[in-house]
Amino acid sequence: MSINKYIPNFVTLLNLFCGSIAVIFAVHNNFVATAIFVFLGVFFDFFDGLLARKLNVQSPLGVQLDSLADMVTSGLVPGIVMFKLMSISFHAPEMQTLDDWSSNISWSSINISLVALIGLFITLASAYRLAKFNIDEEQQTYFKGLPTPANTLLVISLPLIIEFQNSSFATNLILNPWFLIAFTALSCYLLNSKIKLFALKFKDYSFANNKIRYVLIISTILLLVVFQFIAIPLIIMLYILLSVFQNMTTKTI
């Protein structure tokens, strides 16, 4: 029995492992560590499918396992991060639970902002998108709506901008309650929109057949060098605009 068929699934489980660690750090407000493990998870998420295609070991099990891993790394984590940002924005106290595990659980022992729970809508929207993706046979060469890993990078960029950009304007904007609510609504919409977005899958590496992909990759590098973490929302915006442009030009040809 060939061991090759287990390699992509093992990489997928590494994605899930990183996502689980990211959840722990997010709950404890360590957004930098959260981002590190999210980036690792997204890295493994990109390569599991690539390995499956290269080794010719694609399977229904791998598809389902990939979505389950994404549900944690790219579904639960961004929802928790947004919940935490909203809690900070609304000046909610830290969530406190009973230290005695043998005690009966009661709502009086848990102190959270109910409005901040809006952030978890991102988790719900991610689950809905992943479920639709699994039964949609059209999304082989493109995506309908923003992929969950891209949306997660978009969300995780917010605390990183606060932490590293040293911009009072950006910090005040991100921690504005109305901005976070609008951001959450936009995130949920993009995840489940019908906008066709091109996939970063290369059938070959010629520039002629991959112009738009190379434009995105080169632009991503330049934007990250110039703008650092503020570049992430700009890159996602550019990705959407390039996809819309490609859709318009393809229809007119």
Flag whether 232 is in a domain: no
Instruction: For residues 104-115, give the mean pLDDT.
Output: 60
Residue 196: strand pairing partners = 144
Provide the β-strand partners of residue 148. none
> Mean of the pLDDT values across residues 34-48?
92
Domain presence at residue 231: no
Q: Is residue 237 part of a domain?
A: no
Question: Under DSSP, is residue 196 helix (H, G, I), strand (E, B) or coil?
Answer: strand
Residue 88 belongs to a domain: yes
Tally of CA atoms within 13 A in the half-sphere of 241 that contains its CB? 9
Read off the pLDDT of each residue in 76-94 and give the average, rounded to a whole number: 87
Number of structural domains (the chain) is 1
pLDDT of residue 105: 44
Task: Find the length of the chain.
Answer: 253
Query: Is the residue at 31 inside a domain?
Result: yes
Predicted confidence at residue 85, as pLDDT, reads 95
SS3 82: helix
Q: Enumerate long-range contacts of 161-166, CB under 8 Å, 24 or more apart.
A: 161/229, 161/230, 163/31, 163/32, 164/228, 164/229, 165/228, 165/229, 165/230
Give residue 79's domain range. Answer: 3-94+120-133+141-195
pLDDT digits (tens, 9 = 90+) for 184-211: 999 999 999 999 998 887 666 677 778 8
pLDDT at 118 over 90: yes
Question: What letter represents residue 109's amino acid?
Answer: S
Please tell me the predicted confidence (pLDDT) of residue 106: 47
Is there a domain that residue 177 lies in? yes
For residue 106, what are its two tokens?
């009661």
Domain with residue 30: its CATH number is 1.20.120.1760
pLDDT digits (tens, 9 = 90+) for 240-250: 999 999 888 87
Which helix or strand (DSSP H or E) is residue 178 part of? helix 177-192
| Residue 26 · residue 34 · CB < 8 Å | yes
Greater confidence (71 vs 56) lies with 71
- pLDDT of 5 strictly over 70: yes
Among 134, 133, 138, 23, which Cα is nearest to 74's? 23
In this structure, is residue 101 part of a structural domain?
Answer: no
Q: What is the per-residue pLDDT for 139? A: 67
CB burial of residue 5 (10 Å; 0-12, 13-18, 19+) = middle
Average pLDDT for 115-144 = 88
**Residue 95's pLDDT is what?**
46
Q: Residue range 41-60: average pLDDT?
A: 80
> Over pLDDT 70: what percentage of the chain?
87
Whether 174 is covered by a domain: the verdict is yes
